[in-house]
Amino acid sequence: MKSTPLLLAIFFSLPAIADEVQVAVGANFNAPMKIIAADFEKDTGHKAVVSLGTVGKFFAQIKSGAPFEVLISSDNNTPDKLVAEGLAIESTRRTYAIGKLVLWSAQPDYVDAKGEVLKKGDFKHLALANPKLAVYGAAGQEVMKRMGVLDALQPRIVLAENITQAHQFVSTGNAELGFVALSQVIGKDGGIANGSAWMVPADLYPQIRQDAIVLTNGKDKTAAKALVDYLKTDKSRAVIKSFGYELD
C-alpha cells in the first residue's frame, strides 16, 4: 500500500522519536521543574526523569559514573568543574535562573523584615542546608558571617542534607526558622505563602547563578539538548519567574 502525500506530511511533521532523559536537578528547583517537565513532555514527546538533590552530591555521583544525562544545577561552579573533568559539554550550558535566598519561619510575625531576629538570637534551632554540599546553605552561612553572627549562632544551626530538608525542618517546627529558597515559600501573588520571612538583600551573599548543562552521557541524545534548550523558552521562563527567580 502506497503512502498518500497527506500521510507523509503528517509523519514528517511529528517530533523525533520520543525518548527519556535522566536529569539531576538541584532541590531548590523542585516545584518549577514539575511544571516544566510536564510541559516539556507535552510539547516535545520527550520525558524528563528527575532526581532531586544537592549539587555537591551530584558532582560526586557523576564522577563515579551515575547515568545522568543533564544537570540542572543550583550553581554555576559545579558545571565548571564537570566541564574541567570532561564530564559535561560546555557549548550546551545555559543560565536558566538566578536564585533568591530567604530567611523563613512557619510562624507569622516571627522573622522581621530586616533579619534582626538573627542578632537577637531568641530561638533554639536554625535550619541550614549543608554548606559543603548545597549552594543555598553556603549562601546562608555567608549571610550570617557578613552580619557578624555566625560564631554565636553556630551551636543552634541544624544542618540539613539539602534545601528541601531545611524547609521541612522549619515547616514541621523542628527549627523555628531557617534559610531556604524563595521558590519554596513564594505565594501566587508573589509574596510569602505563609509564615514570615526576610528577603535577604542580594549584597549579603554571592549571586546564585543556576546553570543547566548536557553531561557527556547525554551528548548523543536529542532529548538531553532539547531539555536544556527548553529551559530558555518563553513558556519555561514564565514558570521560572513565577517562582521568584530572576532571569538572566
pLDDT in tens, 209-236: 999 999 999 999 999 999 999 999 999 9
Check residue 13 and give its pLDDT.
41
| pLDDT over threshold 80, residue 126 | yes
What cell numbers appear for 58 in the block? 551530584
Give the single-character DSSP code of 31: H
Question: Where exactly does CATH 3.40.190.10 map onto the chain?
Answer: 20-98+207-242, 101-199
Check residue 21 and give its pLDDT.
97
Check residue 16 and give its pLDDT.
53
Check residue 10 and give its pLDDT.
38
This prediction's pTM: 0.87
Check residue 9 and give its pLDDT.
42
Share of the chain above pLDDT 90, in %: 89
pLDDT in tens, 6-48: 443 433 344 556 799 999 999 999 999 999 999 999 999 999 9
Check residue 8 and give its pLDDT.
38
Share of the chain above pLDDT 70, in %: 93
- Say which CATH architecture domain 101-199 belongs to: 3-Layer(aba) Sandwich (3.40)
Please state, rounded to an integer, the average pLDDT across all residues of the chain: 92
The per-residue DSSP string of 152-172 comes to: HHGGGEEEESSHHHHHHHHHT
Residues paired with 199 in a beta bridge: 102
| pLDDT over threshold 60, residue 4 | no
Single-letter amino acid, residue 185 = V
Check residue 82 and give its pLDDT.
98
Residues paired with 198 in a beta bridge: 103
pLDDT in tens, 183-211: 999 988 878 889 999 999 999 999 999 99
CATH of domain 20-98+207-242: 3.40.190.10
Cβ pair 189, 85 in contact under 8 A: no
Which residue, among 199, 127, 112, 117, has the nearest Cα to 164 in the 3D structure? 127
Q: What angle do CA 40, 16, 26 make, to 5 degrees?
A: 30
Which residue, among 39, 186, 17, 170, has the nearest Cα to 101 in the 3D structure? 186
Report the pLDDT averaged over residues 147-153.
97
